[in-house]
Amino acid sequence: MTSAAPLSGIRVLDVSSVLSGPLTTMLLADLGAEVIKVEPPLAPDFTRGTGAARNGMTAYFYNTNRGKKAISIDGRHPAGQKILSQLADRSDVLVQNMRPGKATGIGLDPEECLTRNPSLVYASISGYGQTGAASGDPVYDYVIQAVTGMVDAQRDPSTGLLDLTRHFPADKITAHTMSEAILAALFARERDEDKRGQHIEVSMHEANLAFMWPDSMMQHSIVGEPDEPGLYPADFYRVYPTLDSAIVIMPLMTPSKSICQAIGRHDLIEGGQYSTLDSSNLHDFQEIIADCVKHWSSDKAIKTFRNHEVPVGEVLSRANIHTHQQAIAQNSILENNDPVIGPIRTARPAWRMGRTSELLHDTAPQFGQHTDSVLSELGYSSDAVAKLRTNGVIA
Q: What is the DSSP letter of 96?
A: E
Q: Is 237 exposed, middle or buried (0-12, 13-18, 19+ CB in 10 A)?
A: middle
pLDDT of residue 1: 57
Q: Say whether pLDDT at 359 is over 90.
A: no
**Which of 78, 36, 161, 163 is CA-nearest to residue 388?**
78
SS3 percent helix, strand, coil of the chain, rounded to 5, is 40, 15, 45
Query: Tell me, what's the pLDDT at 98?
Result: 96
Sign of the CA dihedral running 59, 60, 64, 68: negative
| Phi, then psi, of 40 in degrees rounded to 5 | -65, 150
Closest CA to 271 of 281, 254, 236: 281
Beginning with the edge strand found earlier in the chain, give each strand of the sheet holding 11-14 in spatial order.
Answer: 69-72, 34-39, 11-14, 93-96, 121-126, 198-203
Alpha carbon separation from 100 to 16, 77, 96 (Å, rounded) = 13, 20, 10
Q: Is 375:394 a contact under the CB 8 Å cutoff?
A: yes
CATH 3.40.50.10540 fits domain 11-214+332-390: yes
Condensed to tens digits (0 to 9), the pLDDT of residues 230-254 reads 777 777 788 999 999 999 998 777 7
pLDDT of 306-334, one tens digit each? 999 999 999 999 999 999 999 999 999 99
Give the model confidence (pLDDT) of 12-54 as tens digits: 999 999 999 999 999 999 999 999 999 999 999 999 999 999 9
Separation of alpha carbons 288 and 50, rounded Å: 44
Q: Chain-wide mean pLDDT for the chain?
A: 95
283 and 336 in contact (C-beta within 8 Å)? Answer: no
Contact 392, 78 (CB under 8 A): no
pLDDT tens digit sequence for 119-167: 999 999 999 999 999 999 999 999 999 999 999 999 887 899 999 999 9
Other beta carbons within 10 angstroms of residue 383's beta carbon come to 8
Query: Among candidates 91, 90, 36, which has minimal Cα distance to 67?
Result: 36
> Mind listing the pLDDT tens digit for each residue in 177-220?
999 999 999 999 999 999 999 999 999 999 999 999 999 999 99
- Model pTM score: 0.94
Question: Is it the case that residue 5 has pLDDT exceeding 60?
Answer: yes
The per-residue pLDDT for 69 is 98
**Percent of the chain beyond pLDDT 90?**
85
Return the number of other C-beta atoms located less than 10 Å from residue 138's C-beta: 7
Cβ–Cβ under 8 Å, residues 333 and 327: yes
Most confident of 73-82, 274-283, 346-355: 73-82
Residues 103-129, mean pLDDT to the nearest whole number: 98
Instruction: Find how far residue 116's CA is from the centre of its chain.
Output: 32
3-state helix/strand/coil string of 154-216: CCCCCCCCCCCCCCCHHHHHHHHHHHHHHHHHHHHHHHCCCCCCEEEEEEHHHHHHHHHHHHH
CB 124 within 8 A of CB 178: no
User: What is the predicted pLDDT for the residue at 276?
Assistant: 79
Q: What is the mean pLDDT of residues 258-281?
A: 86
Looking only at the bridges linking them, the beta strands covering 57-58 and 53-54 are antiparallel
Reported confidence tier of residue 75, pLDDT bands at 50, 70, 90:
very high
Q: Closest by alpha carbon to 29, among 40, 39, 21, 18?
A: 21
Query: Do the beta carbons of residue 380 and residue 27 sit within 8 Å?
Result: no
Q: What does the CA dihedral 351, 353, 358, 363 come to, rounded to 10 degrees?
A: 0
Residue 2 reports pLDDT greater than 70: no
